[in-house]
Amino acid sequence: MIKIWGTSFSLIGDLVISLPQLNYFKNKYKDIYVYFVIHKKISYCAPLFFNHPLIDKIHITGEWSSFNDSDYDLAKNCEILTTKLDHDSRKILNRVTDDNKFYYNSKSAIDANAAMSGIENLDEFINKDEKIPKLYKWFDAGFESVQKKGAYTFDKKVSNNHNYELSKSLSIWPFAGYGRSKNRNPSKEWWISLVKKLTDNGINIYHFGYFKEPKLSSDNEYYHNLTNLSFFEQIKISLGTKFSLGTDSGSMWVLGAYSHPTLILLTNWNENHNSNFEALLPPNKSVKHIFCKDNFENLSIDLVYDKIISAGVSKISKVDKIFNFFK
């Protein structure tokens, strides 16, 4: 049996993007044991991978975003490492050089991620379907599984919503890399305008993301800010909605891996990304996108609204809300 130290990327999206590598190792070596390594700082995402058929054990690192002695000892006992380590100096080495630094201009995120793991030709041992990241639900999607735990939200009205209403609703993940990534997302003002148009037309919206993100509406019965819930709880509720909308983020890769209908607003937000603009898109069939060159300044709210409605998101009448309140 070949023991594999699998991935260890420090971002949630990269963990999902790395999943096809496990198919590569399984097909190439047959008898393998995979330690799926997750950095401590994103250990909250571990439940997403609990029942993955290609993961034998999830290993959370002992340090926030690096490794301690026990991590290095485990790595030393593995025949294959997707993290490049110097065991003598106990340092993480970088596979990214100046030549491949902006690999998204020529590679998909999945191929680029594989190259960072030391796999130059991922297609050599996997087929097209195996190259698509997949996650497997072991939990109930929607609100009721969260309510049973007595979870609190910013919006107490939410506790009276039921999955029927949720299943007609939209979830939004508006601010990828909030506070860190310039030009990665439409502006706060753009999102406020979209939310107003949707809620004015009776569309129920659940807002997910980082707890410091700004609210996009106030005193609105159709807008619910749930950013104070745990990431896993947010994913579970988002999977219970009809449709999700977001930007280039790990959350969108997670939803895509669960085959959840999703629309990604995409731009080449890295100034060195000047070709192959769909490189960062999840390849899952449930994921659609709108691409805007360089920024979102000219992104049409009406276009996005029409995409949401055509995806089957439907109005929640006041009668529905009253009925569900007492249900």
Q: What is the pLDDT along the chain (327 residues), one digit of tens a residue?
A: 999 999 877 899 999 999 999 999 999 999 999 999 999 999 999 999 999 999 999 999 998 888 999 999 999 999 999 988 877 777 777 766 555 567 889 899 999 999 889 898 999 999 999 999 999 999 999 986 555 555 555 555 554 456 788 999 999 999 998 767 778 999 999 999 999 999 999 999 999 999 999 999 998 999 999 999 999 999 999 999 999 999 999 999 999 999 999 999 999 988 888 899 999 999 999 999 999 999 999 999 999 999 999 999 999 876 666 556 555
- Rounded to two decimals, what is the model's pTM? 0.92
- The count of residues in the chain is 327
> Which DSSP helix (H) or strand (E) runs through 291?
strand 287-292
> How high is the pLDDT of residue 224?
95
> How high is the pLDDT of residue 158?
55
The CATH classification number of 147-326 equals 3.40.50.2000
Residue ranges of the chain that CATH labels 3.40.50.2000: 147-326
Q: Rounded CA gap, 58 and 87, in Å?
A: 21
Q: Which of 85, 50, 54 is nearest to 71 (CA)?
A: 85
- What is residue 199's three-state secondary structure? helix
> How high is the pLDDT of residue 157?
53
> How high is the pLDDT of residue 95?
66
DSSP 7-70: E--SSHHHHHHTTHHHHHHHHHHSSEEEEEEE-GGGGGGGGGGTT-TT-SEEEE-SSSSS--HH
* CATH of 2-131 among 3.60.21, 3.40.50, 3.20.20, 3.30.70: 3.40.50
Neighbouring CB atoms inside 10 A of 167's CB total: 15
